[in-house]
Amino acid sequence: MGMIHGIKDQEAFGAYQRIAEPTIKKYGGKTVFVSSGVDPGDGDWSPMGISMVQFESSDQARKWYNSPEYQAVIGQRLASTDSNTVFIDVD
């Protein structure tokens, strides 16, 4: 679900992760993996890490993302990292 391109403040990012994880669980999500070993085969993107969070549906993932609980902490992620969030539907 997320790609980290760079961490500006490791301590603040760690605090974000501790706060965000319970919001994920509250909406039925679970962290599938967190990886810092990313080796792009081609293209012009170069994340230093990827994390995948799984929800029962893309609607549920968006409910979590737009929830008051997560919106209260998203600014901490954006301030402490250069990162992107993507939603992926799996058939």
pLDDT of residue 47: 81
pLDDT digits (tens, 9 = 90+) for 34-45: 888 788 888 887
pLDDT digits (tens, 9 = 90+) for 10-40: 899 899 999 999 999 999 999 998 888 788 8
The pTM assigned to this predicted structure is 0.84
Who's near 28: CB < 8 A, 6+ residues apart? 55, 56, 60
Domains observed in the chain: 2-80 (3.30.70.100)
47-77 residues labelled b (16+ CB within 10 A) or e (exposed): bbbbbebbbeeeeebeebbeeeebeebeebb
